[in-house]
Amino acid sequence: MNQKEVTIAKPVMLDKNFFSGHSVDCVILGFEQGEIKVLLLKWKAFEKWSLPGGFIGNDEDLDKAAIRILQERTGISLPFLEQFHSFGDVNRKGKESFLSEIKSLIGHDSNLINWISQRFISTGYLSLVNIKKCNLVPDELSERCEWVSLNNVSNLIYDHNEMIKMALQKIKMQLNYLPIGITLLDSKFTMKELQLLYQSILGKEIDRGNFQKKMLKLDILIRLEKQNLGGAHKAPYLYKFDKLKYKKLLKKGFGYIN
C-alpha cells in the first residue's frame, strides 16, 4: 500500500466517524465579469471535475456539514446557504464509478473501499457568494478549485451536472425569496451590473427600462455618486442595497415578476 496515498485519504473519510450512505454536495455560485460561475474541483487522479462535497459526521447535523464543507473550500463562515434537493436515485453514480481512480488516491483498505462504494443519497446545498471574498482551498482528493462559467461546465462526475441544473431551476422558482443581489454583487454596483446578474440567472434578456423601473419601485436601492470612469463617457450611477429594507422585503418576497 502506498503510504502517501493513505495519508491523502485519511482526513476525508477515516479520521471522523461519518454517517453511512449520505453525502452533501454544494452548488456554490458567484458572479464575475457579467457571468454566473460555479465552484468546481478538479480530481487528482483523473481528468474529471466535480462539485465540492463531503460526508456528514455521525454527530453532525446535515446543515452543519454543509456549512463546514462550504467553509473548508471557500473560507466563508457566514454564508447564504440553503438546501435545495436530495438526490437519491439508485444509479445516480452512473456507469463510470471511477473506483480504480479513487482507489489510487485513497489506498486499498477494503473497509474504506466498501464504505465509499455503497449507495449514497446526496443532499444538494446552494450557496451564493461574492467571489472576491472567497479563499479557495481544494479538498484532499482534488488538485485545484476553480470558478467555471456556467457555459463552460464539462461532463462532471456522477449526477453533478443535474445538481447544477436543479439548483438553477430552484433559483428561478424562488427568485423573489433569495438574496440574489446582496450576496453576489460587490457592495457598490451599477444598474447594468444588477441587470446582467438577473439576466444570467434567468438565462434571458431583460428590457433595461422595465428592469430599472421594477427595481427602483422595490425601494431597496440607495443611489450613490456617479461612477468616475475618467473619460468623456456618461458615467453611470452607483447603487448599494439598503440592507434593512432588503432583508425585510426578502422575508415577504420581492414581488419581482420575471
Q: Given the rule CB under 8 A, which residues bind a copy of itself?
A: 19-22, 56, 58-63, 65, 83, 85-90, 119, 121, 123, 172-174, 176-177, 253, 255, 257-258
CB of 62 or CB of 113, closer to a copy of itself: 62
Let me know if 204 is exposed, middle or buried by CB neighbors in 10 A (0-12, 13-18, 19+): exposed
Give the span between the Cα atoms of 235 and 215, in whole angstroms. Answer: 20
Q: Which is nearer to a copy of itself, 5 or 162 (CB)?
A: 162
Q: Closest CB to a copy of itself among 23 and 142?
A: 23
Alpha carbons 68 and 57: distance in angstroms, whole number: 10
Query: What contacts 46, CB < 8 A, 6 or more positions away?
Result: 98, 101
First to last CA, the chain: 56
> In whole angstroms, how close is the CB of 128 to a copy of itself at the nearest point?
16
CB of 176 to a copy of itself, least distance (A): 8
CB of 211 to a copy of itself, least distance (A): 16
Of the candidates 139, 165, 123, the one whose C-alpha atom is nearest the C-alpha of residue 29 is: 165
Q: Compare residues 190 and 199 and give the one whose CB is closer to a copy of itself.
A: 199
Q: What is the smallest separation between the CB atom of 72 and a copy of itself, expressed in angstroms?
A: 18
Q: Collapse the DSSP code of 23 into the 3-class scheme (helix H, G, I; strand E, B; otherwise coil) and give the result.
A: strand
- Nearer to a copy of itself by Cβ, of 34 and 253: the residue is 253
In the complex, least distance from residue 17 CB atom to a copy of itself, rounded to whole angstroms: 11
